[in-house]
């Protein structure tokens, strides 16, 4: 059986974590079937069966075997299709470990801080959240300088692990800028990172996967309406 046979991705176009897996699949030129999950309405039976522990997207199904959690999936794709395109993870063991550390930081600390802008009420609360985001970007600016070694991407000449891990969030960064009413990825504060973001978004790998802010905001409004309608129905 061909190694790209029987590849499905249970995900959602609006999810940065689902986008992350799509970016890796596209970088590796892996053909796959995308199965849209309306997770914000109801978790499907296929999703619960494929990911019974967390019951969330994304899930990659390869030859009927599910792989869960976006960063785990990205590493699986890099190994399962090692002969396709550039390597995603660094070849050096130490650099791989450091890349995994910062990818974990993005998911566990930086992105949750940025999402606080959705619920921050009042100028003081928003300013506190923005401060956290700026602190994160300052750290990531240093990481970019060290990893890129003067080249275009975290992965050097090519898009790599940290490019995918952070790049999947760029649409939501722009959404947060609209919600928060100010520039977050400021060129004057974070010149290397801001220039990297523009390069990444214009890269063939990111086109049609990382959506623009208006598209995401429109979808977010529909999600809120769907949840409100579901809550009203449940209360009746």
pLDDT 10s digits, 93-123: 999 999 999 999 999 999 999 888 877 788 8
In angstroms, the Cα distances linking 65 to 20, 41, 101, 149, 162 are 19, 25, 27, 38, 26
Across the chain, mean pLDDT equals 91
| Whether the domain at 7-80 and the domain at 93-214 fall into the same CATH topology | no
Residue 5: per-residue pLDDT:
57
- Parts of the chain with a pLDDT under 50: 1-4
47, two tokens: 């999703």
Q: Which of 116, 130, 137, 236 is nearest to 196 (CA)?
A: 137
- Residue identified by tokens 């892996």 is 30
Return the CATH superfamily for domain 7-80. Answer: Glutaredoxin (3.40.30.10)
Question: How much is the pTM?
Answer: 0.91
CA dihedral 201, 202, 205, 206 (to 10 degrees): 30
Domain assignments of the chain as residue spans, ordered by start: 7-80, 93-214
Residue 170: per-residue pLDDT:
96
Q: Please state the length of the chain.
A: 236
Span 93-214: which CATH code? 1.20.1050.10
Q: Which of 109, 113, 139, 140 is nearest to 128 (CA)?
A: 113
């Amino acid at each position: 059986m061909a190694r790209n046979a029987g590849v499905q991705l249970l995900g959602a176009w609006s999810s940065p974590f689902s986008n992350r897996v799509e970016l890796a699949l596209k970088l590796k030129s892996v053909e796959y079937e995308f199965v849209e999950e309306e997770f914000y309405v109801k978790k499907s039976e296929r999703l619960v069966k494929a990911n019974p522990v967390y019951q969330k997207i994304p899930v990659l199904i390869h030859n009927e075997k599910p792989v869960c959690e976006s960063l785990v999936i990205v590493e699986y794709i890099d190994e399962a299709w090692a002969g396709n395109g550039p390597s995603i993870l660094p070849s050096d063991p130490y650099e791989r470990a450091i890349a995994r550390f910062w990818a974990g930081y993005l998911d566990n600390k930086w992105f949750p801080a940025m999402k606080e802008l959705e619920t921050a009420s009042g100028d003081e609360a928003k300013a506190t959240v923005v401060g956290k985001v700026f602190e994160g970007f300052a750290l990531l600016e240093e990481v970019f300088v060290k990893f890129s070694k003067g080249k275009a991407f975290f992965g050097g000449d090519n898009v790599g692990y940290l490019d995918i891990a952070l790049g999947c969030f760029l649409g939501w960064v722009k959404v947060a800028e609209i919600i928060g009413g100010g520039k977050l990825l400021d060129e004057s504060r974070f010149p290397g990172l801001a220039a990297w973001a523009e390069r990444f978004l214009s890269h063939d790998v990111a086109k049609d996967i990382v959506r623009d802010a208006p598209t995401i905001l429109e979808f977010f409004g529909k999600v809120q309406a769907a949840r409100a309608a579901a809550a009203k129905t449940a209360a009746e």
